């Protein structure tokens, strides 16, 4: 696991190891937030959850702390760069082309512990998301069967759940699927700069696609955005016509 920092943080002189940590932390906290969203939906729909009500805040904080810190121990095992860089360049000779202008940074020479830890974290978080989705569907089914909630309300909850699932599916496609390829490429010692570039381009586009999907699947956000854009157009036309609105 090695690379070169070419972004703004590198220009500011931030250690590349910390940049790696921040990158992993951002994705892991994103996953923890997804778990929080599903848990909150289930909690609002369910009733008589006194025990969970007492511990849910602590459980949420604990999950965020784990997500933000589980990768920190690897920062203490970063190898000596004067010894590690020649090893990597020997395994990947073509990387000499890049190291002529940008220094190479080796995060670890043994990627298996890092990948295993990230995989374990991912499995736990995905299991939690699946659990809360199943619990939410179960609550909706029970409410519809017992007629404790109007059919219209149940339909709204179901639509909102589907929207959340669609919004969650986006990071899986845009972020996790490209990163999963690293679980194969890194242990195999295969380096392809084009594949690496596409992986990080895909991950970087998550914010853009997430915003577009938010507007597509959630009607209130979509209507509010259209209302703002419409007001902007009306104001522009009014100024051109010599009229003003207040």
pLDDT at position 245 is 40
Find out whether 61 and 39 touch, Cβ atoms under 8 Å: no
Burial of 96 (0-12, 13-18, 19+ CB in 10 A): exposed
pLDDT (tens digit per residue) in 98-127:
666 678 888 888 888 888 888 888 889 888
Please check whether residue 44 lies inside any domain of the structure: yes
Please check whether residue 228 lies inside any domain of the structure: no
pLDDT at position 150 is 66
pLDDT at position 149 is 61
pLDDT at position 62 is 92
What distance in Å separates the CA atoms of residue 199 and residue 194, rounded to the nearest whole number?
9
Please state, in angstroms and as integers, the Cα–Cα distance from residue 57 to each residue in 8, 127, 161, following that order: 36, 19, 22
The tokens of 142 are what? Answer: 């029970």
Please check whether residue 219 lies inside any domain of the structure: no
Please check whether residue 147 lies inside any domain of the structure: yes
What distance in Å separates the CA atoms of residue 175 and residue 34, rounded to the nearest whole number?
14
pLDDT at position 162 is 73
Residues of the chain with pLDDT under 70: 47-48, 96-101, 143-144, 146-152, 154, 157, 231-246
Please check whether residue 102 lies inside any domain of the structure: yes
pLDDT (tens digit per residue) in 57-104:
888 999 999 999 999 888 888 888 888 888 888 877 777 666 666 788
- The residue range of the domain holding 9 is 2-204
- How many domains in the chain? 1
Please check whether residue 226 lies inside any domain of the structure: no
The three-state (H, E, C) secondary structure of 122-180, written as one string: HHHHHHHHHHHHHHHHHHHHHHHHHCCCCHHHHHHHHHHHHHHHHHHHHHHHHHHHHHH
């Amino acid at each position: 696991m090695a690379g070169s920092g070419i972004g703004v943080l590198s220009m500011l002189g931030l250690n590349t190891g910390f940049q790696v940590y921040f990158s992993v932390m951002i994705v892991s906290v994103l996953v923890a937030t997804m778990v929080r969203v599903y848990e909150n939906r289930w909690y609002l729909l369910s009733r008589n959850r006194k025990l969970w009500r007492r511990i849910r805040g602590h459980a949420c904080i604990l999950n965020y702390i784990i997500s933000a810190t589980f990768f920190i121990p690897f920062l203490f095992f970063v190898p000596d760069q004067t010894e590690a860089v020649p090893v990597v360049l020997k395994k990947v000779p073509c990387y000499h082309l890049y190291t002529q202008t940008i220094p190479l940074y080796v995060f670890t020479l043994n990627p298996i512990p890092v990948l295993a830890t990230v995989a374990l974290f991912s499995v736990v978080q995905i299991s939690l998301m699946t659990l809360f989705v199943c619990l939410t569907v179960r609550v909706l089914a029970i409410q519809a069967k017992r007629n404790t909630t109007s059919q219209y309300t149940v339909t709204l909850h179901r639509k909102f759940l589907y929207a959340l699932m669609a919004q969650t599916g986006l990071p899986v496609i845009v972020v996790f699927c490209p990163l999963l390829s690293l679980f194969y490429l890194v242990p195999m010692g295969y380096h392809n700069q084009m594949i690496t570039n596409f992986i990080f381009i895909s991950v970087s586009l998550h914010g853009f696609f997430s915003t577009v999907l938010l507007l597509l699947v959630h009607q209130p956000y979509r209507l509010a955005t259209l209302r703002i854009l419409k007001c902007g157009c009306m104001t522009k036309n009014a100024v051109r016509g010599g009229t003003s609105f207040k």
